[in-house]
Amino acid sequence: MNTITIHLTQSKKQKLGTLAQKNKKIYFEYDKEFLKTGIEISPYKLPLKAGLQRCDDDTFTGIFLSM
């Protein structure tokens, strides 16, 4: 499994969550501390909720090619 840690930088660097690839599927999970902020980065593609979310379209296709 390949993973990438994602950060959001506004006034300070904050861990947003983790992207993962397994069996050619892409998954995302918000960081528990980021969930507390209430910031919706993509309400249609990545609703602000706990747990793994599977990306069912090609939004992140190719992101793990160099790994």
Identify whether the C-beta of residue 33 lies closer than 8 Å to the C-beta of residue 15. yes
pLDDT (tens digit, 9 = 90+) per residue, 28-62? 999 999 999 999 988 888 899 999 998 876 666 66
Positions of E strands within 1-67:
2-9, 13-22, 25-30, 53-55
Identify the band that residue 65 occupies on the pLDDT scale cut at 50, 70 and 90.
Answer: low
pLDDT at 13 over 60: yes
What gap in Å lies between CA 27 and CA 21, rounded to an integer? 6
- CA 24 to the chain's CA centroid: 16
